[in-house]
Amino acid sequence: MDCISIETFLTIMKTRSLTKAAELLNLTQSTVSHRLKMLELSLDMALIERGKGQRGITLTQAGEAFIPIAERWWEVWREIQMLKTGAPKLSLLIGSVDSVNAYVLPPVYRQLLQHVPAIDIQIRTQQSAELYDLIERREVDVAFVLLERYLPSVDMKPFFTEPMVVVRLGGIQELPASVEPESLDPHDELFINWSPAYQMWHDKWWGSHIKPSRMRLDTAQLILAIMEQAKQWAIVPLSMARSFKSKGDFVIQHLTDTPPHRVCYQITHKSPRQSAIHAIDILNQYSELLKADMNVDLVDV
């Protein structure tokens, strides 16, 4: 197993096609197939399914399990190359849940891109539970999650908290700044389960014994694509609602009975990678500036 074989495998996984992988690597398809076969022989296991008339790439169970191993191998190889050049380079592997990645952290990412000296940045979007596991295995240097989980090797601290608000399309009639939960028809809700505490609050007003929500989503970005009627509504974090409002005719309403605030936590490994320690400090500096620039409705905790 060598870096060429790993690069070929990861490119095949990225494109899900031997032909497209060959194009990206500027190789013939037969060369790509040969490299894959040599990798399988060195590992003594098949990584992809092979069958007549089969289109695209289908991984074996071993192939699925090998992907994260290959990604770690490739990252270690890149760090070794940087060491060989004698020019240490800052690097940072950042993980975050989707909503924080898309609606809170972009200003920090833009500042990191402009930082001198340059920082090699990788960003991953995962669920909170998965991010804890990645931090524990040191596959991610710092992550932003929405769940508390106590692990011996992981440091966790609150990052920020923000209120949950109603977002809906504006209409001809001006909507009030606040709204009572009982006035909202759950039949018209685009529902997202933000946390166990939020679900308990939601059940108090619109439990299963009442008319349930017809549309349940696993990502808030779908709201932008689905919401098209003034009667539809959703409850989202304030940062997200403001982003929606900047992109279209959306109205933000505060609830008279407020849901639990959303709390975002920052987690790191207690023994981070040496090449990431300084980069984490730089990230923290920009994060503090971000929180200082946030409106008072987004409260640092």
Asked if residue 61 is part of any domain, the answer here is yes
Question: Do residue 249 and residue 171 come from a single domain?
Answer: yes
Q: Does 85 or 91 have the greater pLDDT score? A: 91
**Tokens for 71?**
């990604």
299 assigned to some structural domain: no
pLDDT at 300 over 50: no
Number of domains in the chain: 3
Q: Does residue 57 sit in the same domain as residue 133?
A: no
- Is 298 among the domain residues? no
Statement to judge: residues 147 and 278 lie in one domain: yes
In a domain, 110, yes or no: yes
In a domain, 300, yes or no: no
Domain carrying residue 32: 3-83
Q: Assess if residue 171 is contained within a domain.
A: yes
Predicted confidence at residue 299, as pLDDT, reads: 46
278 and 243 in a single domain? The answer is no
- Whether 231 is covered by a domain: the verdict is yes
Q: Is the pLDDT of residue 154 over 90?
A: yes
pLDDT in tens, 112-137: 999 988 898 999 999 999 999 999 98
Mean pLDDT, the chain, rounded, equals: 87
